[in-house]
Structures are given as C-alpha cells and as structure tokens.
C-alpha cells in the first residue's frame, strides 16, 4: 500500500452518525485543566484533609487550656497524634507508583494501606470516645448545660461526617482492588 492509497482510504472514512464530539471535548478539557484525579490521589486527599482537620482541632483547643488545662492537653495531644498519623498515611499513598510495581506488589500495597487505615480508624475511635465523653462533662461543668447539648450534637454530627468519609475511603479502596484484580 502506498501513500496515495492511504490518503484515499482516509478520505473515504465516514464518521458514524451517533458520534458526539461534545462528550469527548468535555473529557479532554478536564484532562487539559488537570481536573481528572486518580484513585490514589483521591485516597491521599482524604488523608491530607483529615490531617488538616486535626491541625484545626489543635487550634480550636488552645483557648480552652485556660479553663481546663487537663482537657486542653489531652485534646491537643490527641489531635497532634491523629494529624501525624493521617499525614503519614497521606505521604505513603502519594508516593505510590503503580506503574513501577508488579500487579502482585500493587495488590499487597493496597491491602496494606487498607489494613493501616482500619488500624488508624480503630485507634482513633478508641482514643476519641473517652476524650469526647470527658470533654462533654468538663464543658458542661465549666460552662453550663447548654455546652453539654452542644457537645452531644457535635458528636452526632462528627459521627455522621466520619461515617461518610469512611464510606468514601472504603469505596476507593474497593475500586482499586477491582482494577488490580478484575477476577474478583
């Protein structure tokens, strides 16, 4: 086949009637703007966001050091510990390079990330529950009953947010596993 035949074949090709260029244009524009994120990036962003929330928690507890130093120190220590652990998880996820790993290594790495996430969640709940109870009773004792109601409402809202974030992380890890091992 020579070049003239290729030109003729190319010119004789027809575009199917159901082809919509607008759909691919939207996808291409999102890729060009950098608005397409990988599962790895989305999972890393969850850990980064949680570490930033812990930093805000430290800043929010500083004013309470004057009223209840024990509560302030315990809460600040909790937020620092959890912030460091979430930042460590973020760094670990952001350094993943699936293209440089075998499929077996990638599956094991995703399993390790999931295991560490479950451990961190368990440690966080084990430390946060007594701290939240102590915080509610201390605030109600120092500031009045309305603070107790606010603490309980905050705990319920925080639990809902935590469950939503956990569901997102579980779905991302499940999708990573499905992409790495399509037989399951």
Q: What is the pLDDT of residues 132-172, one digit of tens each?
A: 999 888 888 888 888 888 888 988 998 999 999 999 999 99
Per-residue pLDDT tens over the stretch 61-81: 999 889 889 999 999 999 999
Q: Give the span between the Cα atoms of 145 and 166, in whole angstroms.
A: 31
pLDDT of residue 59: 95
Count of alpha carbons within 13 Å of 174, Cβ hemisphere only? Answer: 6
Distance of CA 117 to the CA centre of its chain: 10
Length of the chain: 184
- Side-chain half-sphere CA neighbours of 137 within 13 A: 6
Alpha carbon separation from 107 to 38, 44, 86, 145, 182 (Å, rounded): 16, 17, 21, 51, 11
Contact 71/64 with Cβ under 8 angstroms? yes
Is-contact 109 51, C-beta < 8 A?
no
What is the average per-residue pLDDT within 121-135?
92
Distances (CA, A) of 10 to 19, 116, 131: 17, 54, 70
pTM of the model: 0.76
First to last CA, the chain: 45
pLDDT tier at 8 (50, 70, 90 boundaries)? confident
- Residue 99 is predicted with a pLDDT of 82
pLDDT of 184 higher than 70: no
**Taking a C-beta distance cutoff of 8 angstroms, is the pair 131, 155 a contact?**
no
| pLDDT > 90? residue 17 | no
User: Domain-by-domain residue ranges, the chain?
Assistant: 37-180
Average pLDDT over residues 95-110: 87
């Amino acid at each position: 086949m020579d070049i003239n035949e290729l030109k003729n074949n190319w010119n004789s090709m027809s575009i199917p009637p159901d082809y919509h260029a607008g759909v691919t244009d939207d996808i291409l524009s999102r890729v060009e703007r950098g608005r397409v994120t990988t599962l790895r990036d989305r999972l890393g962003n969850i850990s980064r966001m949680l570490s930033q929330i812990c930093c805000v928690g430290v800043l929010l507890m500083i004013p309470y050091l004057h009223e209840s130093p024990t509560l302030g120190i315990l809460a600040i220590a909790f937020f620092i510990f959890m912030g460091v652990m979430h930042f460590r998880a973020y760094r670990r996820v952001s350094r993943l390079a699936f293209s440089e790993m075998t499929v077996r290594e990638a599956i094991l790495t995703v399993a390790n990330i999931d295991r560490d996430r479950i451990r961190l969640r368990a440690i966080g709940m084990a430390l946060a529950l007594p701290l939240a109870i102590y915080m509610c009773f201390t605030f109600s004792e120092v500031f009045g009953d309305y603070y107790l109601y606010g603490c309980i409402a905050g705990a319920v809202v925080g639990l809902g947010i935590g469950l939503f974030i956990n569901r997102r992380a579980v779905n991302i890890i499940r999708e990573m596993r499905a992409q790495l091992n399509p037989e399951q």
